[in-house]
Structure 1
């Protein structure tokens, strides 16, 4: 199933399920369902309740008539893994990291799959980085790798936008380069993990103004998802709705010759196989 958050006619956020060209309105069918996927996952029985509604859907909306929002908003944690694709490391002559290199993004950076990205005045080198995103489904602490996928609810997609000219500033820390406003387009849906039995064979792509820039596959990950979850859960408790951005393949703007970065007016399109495509205009 593909889970979305959306608006229609009013300002009330709703949770729904994509059904072809329609959206099943979960909140209209069951008014006890929270209008937030993070809150819904925290209740512990989200999947069973979603399946119950989908088996006998009530209110439907035409997909063309709704505004899709980020499928996850206000998670407790947004975590990312750097240098996690072998080809990208190889092209940069960078050794594969022995352990996951972890950074954080603020939940406030999350925007919708079709929202505009406001280019920050502070950076002249905003780069694209398409990524498969893990959505945690239940509390995970000291998880073993062999059981790690049991804690996954599903997957979504992001552009982990990065101000590359800030990476070498402030002592080389990654906080500001990753957390400028609008730096986490997310969506268009969260697909439940049963739809992606092998998350390590998924194509991820980026286009800028219709030109293909990134075309990779998650098979190239240095650290696989179950290992990443084990690693993180040893250091912190992962909560329902937390998201983990799993790294980006080669083809980012900084590695082009000459380097290319996002400019006002550019159309940034991102696609993760089975999840869908986002389109964000740079303004």
Structure 2
């Protein structure tokens, strides 16, 4: 288990207060922009305090409990309010999305709910979504990712799939036997659908989105691994929260990065996507019906281990950190489950 992680800094700027202790976490807080951009918030009907929980949803389990709960977390990660015991909200994110709560009303209701200090709550963080009906990832969707592979920029997106058995949490271990020598990584902006979606236009597409989260697409590139190795157990860390789209200032301008053992391996920005989020939803909705809770991975920037010289694949003992502006950070250790 990872404990007492210090602040991560980049050129003297504060990045993420990623700190896990036995009695809580504060790594949900929103990333400060290098060039601050005002974040449009829903029109308030009551005065909201700075540290009130926002529509940043997490699933968790309190100590000595077997059932999960749903909560909202404040921007700075210090406050949380449980929804599943105070409202009619389902404790299961998949079901909560289908309940179609009005976020304005939910935000207004926070003033009447019990607000807790995150560090005062003893809990286990769970993946924010656990059993989507579909997980679809786009290939080669960043210009620099195409360049490092020495391939042309695609004219049409191509996709691969993952399965929900691969999902694991933002602090959970990635289980990789030492016999696997070609385990790669790729940090993605993940889109969570909020409505049933079929044959939508790009203009309509984002209206069908519930929110966004960080995802890491781990893949075993061994020749003898079935299904390309994308869907092995624990090969899909997600979290730590889902940010509702009402709090997302610009999904096409978010920095994204991966660190392995403290070294930056990937550093990009979603503005460099070849096919933007709205187009990907539009194109997929013409192939198949998208349902609430479905997850779309929007591509990964350059820096995957397979394309570095020499190659730099993951191995047991490595610590992989995945972060996206506004969405939080994950920290997963690669282990050999048979050691």
- d(CA) in 1 for partners of 2:125, 2:106: 18
1:87-126 → structure 2 map (5 Å cutoff): 87-120=144-177, 123-126=180-183
- d(CA) in 2 for partners of 1:182, 1:159: 10
Q: In the TM superposition, what is the alpha-carbon distance from 1:255 to its structure 2 partner? A: 1.1
Corresponding residue number in structure 1 for 2:113: 57
Q: In the TM superposition, what is the alpha-carbon distance from 1:46 to its structure 2 partner? A: 5.8
- d(CA) in 1 for partners of 2:112, 2:221: 49
Corresponding residue number in structure 2 for 1:207: 259
**Residue 115 to residue 46, structure 1, CA distance change in 2 (3 Å):** farther
1:104–1:175 contact (8 Å) kept in structure 2? no
Corresponding residue number in structure 1 for 2:200: 143
- d(CA) in 1 for partners of 2:177, 2:237: 15
1:39-50 → structure 2 map (5 Å cutoff): 39-45=95-101, 47=103, 50=106
- d(CA) in 2 for partners of 1:40, 1:226: 23
Cα displacement string for residues 116-139 of structure 1 (whole angstroms, at most 9, x for unaligned residues): 110146632111100100011111
Unaligned runs of 5+ in 1: none
**Residue 50 to residue 12, structure 1, CA distance change in 2 (3 Å):** farther
- d(CA) in 2 for partners of 1:216, 1:179: 25
Corresponding residue number in structure 1 for 2:69: 14
Higher mean displacement: 103-112 or 55-64: 55-64
- d(CA) in 1 for partners of 2:248, 2:313: 32
Higher mean displacement: 71-80 or 189-198: 189-198
RMSD, aligned α-carbons: 1.8
- d(CA) in 2 for partners of 1:67, 1:197: 29
Q: In the TM superposition, what is the alpha-carbon distance from 1:96 to its structure 2 partner? A: 1.5
Residue 72 (structure 1) aligned with residue 129 (structure 2): yes
1:83–1:248 contact (8 Å) kept in structure 2? yes
Cα displacement string for residues 8-51 of structure 1 (whole angstroms, at most 9, x for unaligned residues): 12121111001231321111212x32111111111222635633
Q: In the TM superposition, what is the alpha-carbon distance from 1:257 to its structure 2 partner? A: 1.0
Higher mean displacement: 129-138 or 113-122: 113-122
Q: In the TM superposition, what is the alpha-carbon distance from 1:62 to its structure 2 partner? A: 2.3
Corresponding residue number in structure 1 for 2:40: none
- d(CA) in 1 for partners of 2:331, 2:258: 10
- d(CA) in 2 for partners of 1:79, 1:217: 20
- d(CA) in 2 for partners of 1:86, 1:230: 21
Cα displacement string for residues 169-216 of structure 1 (whole angstroms, at most 9, x for unaligned residues): 68xxx8332111111000010011122231111111111111111011
2:70–2:91 contact (8 Å) kept in structure 1? yes
Corresponding residue number in structure 2 for 1:235: 287
- d(CA) in 2 for partners of 1:210, 1:178: 24
Structure 2 residue matching 1:16: 3-state secondary structure: strand
Corresponding residue number in structure 2 for 1:165: 222
- Which structure features the higher share of helix residues? 1
Aligned residue-pair number: 277
- d(CA) in 1 for partners of 2:194, 2:292: 5
Corresponding residue number in structure 2 for 1:35: 91
